[in-house]
């Protein structure tokens, strides 16, 4: 099985968006990452790649309830069924309150 580590600063990663809008990072082995860097350097010789501005940063910009209703529902079920530790329950309750207040 391949082992993965955090991306080194300055390296390029791959992402993929599914039909529901979820954005996922594609895991690469070190050799795949090295080949990707070589490939990108080769195709960008004549026309450089452009690093997009902050307006294009990937970030969660919507309330939890809108972005992940399934997660909110799961948190509520865990709390209702006493399936969390005291600390976990407090964190879940806080997340639920924060998400529902914004809507």
Angle, helix 86-101 to helix 69-80, in steps of 10 degrees: 140
Three-state secondary-structure class, residue 63: coil
Residue 9 has pLDDT above 80, yes or no: no
Locate 37 and state its tokens: 């860097």
Q: Read off the pTM.
A: 0.46
pLDDT digits (tens, 9 = 90+) for 36-72: 989 988 988 888 888 888 887 776 545 554 556 666 6
Alpha helices in 1-103 (DSSP H): 30-43, 64-67, 69-80, 86-101
């Amino acid at each position: 099985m391949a082992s993965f580590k955090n991306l080194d600063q300055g390296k390029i990663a791959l992402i993929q968006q599914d039909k529901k809008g979820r954005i996922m990072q594609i895991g690469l082995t070190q050799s795949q990452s090295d080949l990707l860097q070589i490939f990108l350097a080769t195709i960008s010789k004549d026309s450089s790649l452009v690093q997009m501005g902050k307006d294009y940063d990937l970030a969660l910009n919507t309330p939890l309830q809108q972005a992940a209703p399934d997660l909110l529902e799961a948190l509520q079920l865990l709390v209702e069924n006493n399936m969390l530790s005291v600390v976990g329950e407090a964190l879940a309750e806080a997340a639920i309150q924060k998400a529902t207040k914004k809507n």
